[in-house]
Structure 1
Amino acid sequence: MIDIILPELPERELALVSEEISGPSGHVPRPPAAALAGRVTLGGPLSVPLTTELVGRVPELKAFVESEASKADEAHSADYHLVHLSVSCAQEAASPQLHTVNLDLTLSAEPAGNRRAAFQPVAWSMLPLQLSEEVRATGPAHLGPRLGFVGQDRAARGARVCLEARRELRSDPGWEIRRTPTASIGGTYRLAMVVRAPRATVSRAAVEVGATVREGHMRRRFRAELPEPLLLAAG
């Protein structure tokens, strides 16, 4: 196992655009809401290739990275990348409260030269999987056998989950942050994933951030997409 120190990330304040309005059936449609600005800040994203040099002090991790990169069937050989992001949320007393905040990624691979991508990148492991009101992730991330995050557990039965990873082992992973009856959305949430991507291809991660707020019985949805996807550079 190795410890990965997740660095501080450059941040950008997002202006989330109104996406849709929902409420009780038969309600009178309302005009689109103004952009949701000053409430959600995105840190990163940042990508680091998980090379043999990075994990070399742990023999089993080095052997795993080498075996994945040099499979006899080249169509299934893979590179791994550590992707790090953060979401900071601010509550304002005079504004509707954030009900949910979602961070969604779309992973893709394009051919490099004449080689076609044999498979699409996937979220191999995600951190955190779940957080409850009582537990917040702190300290370094721990990468264990087969480059999976270790030392994290799901929330205890009956605990109110305020953050949850979605769609692990797929190309459309993400996290959802939720307001609970006793805890509002606020502060900074540090997020990381290991991406498994085909070798000798150009892999990218498009990032979208969404949020919902409640106004009485109405729910408004907002979303922003980063203009440029994150390039997952090979080591």
Structure 2
Amino acid sequence: MDVLLERHSVHAVDGILLDLGVSSLQLDAPHRGFSFNHTGPLDMRMNARQVLNTMQVVNDSPMDVLVEIFKRYGEERFAKRIAHRIIQTRRETPIATTTQLAEIVKQAVPHGVSKIHPATRVFQALRIHINAELENLAMGLDVAIQLLKPGGCLCVIAFHSLEDRIVKHRFRTCARTASLEILTKRPILPDAVEVQHNPRARSAKLRVARKL
């Protein structure tokens, strides 16, 4: 963000909107490998020039690493069962596609324990891990706050609890040092009409702060 603005000789801005996570364009492109709703390669890289992809992590990581990824980034309570099933499967054949992995996860998780697809948290965890999303978010918030002019607003839309927690804590830390004023005591959520028109917005949380 700061590098891009520097190229255009922009050194401070009045407002910044961070719309976190994967985009609909990426989710709907099977070849990017972000969604289990389409058959595609296990990729999930935001930056296609990056070497590490999801297929490598799924097929090469030891069980304890997979469990840690699923727990830390997906808050997946069946992490051990899922990792064990992945290890068993890849001994016989490489896990190469999104739908193949989704089916493996589905078989490992007890039926009917969640309203969401059984693979949702696993795919989230792998995507966050591959792209170092939480680390990049923390750095991005710092850069955004530095770039804001006094009185400028930082708006952040998060889509899961891990992202939202980082944003909330960063805002609170800055508020304690009187560098930001939090304008949203609680996150703004989409209403029923918006969710009806855009189901992917159902988990969105908007937080806003103003630079002092």
- Point out the structure with the larger strand share: 1
Shared fold (TM-score, shorter chain, > 0.5)? no
In the superposition, the TM-score normalised over structure 2's length comes to 0.31
In the superposition, the TM-score normalised over structure 1's length comes to 0.28
If asked which structure has higher relative contact order (CA below 8 Å, sep 6+), I would say: 1
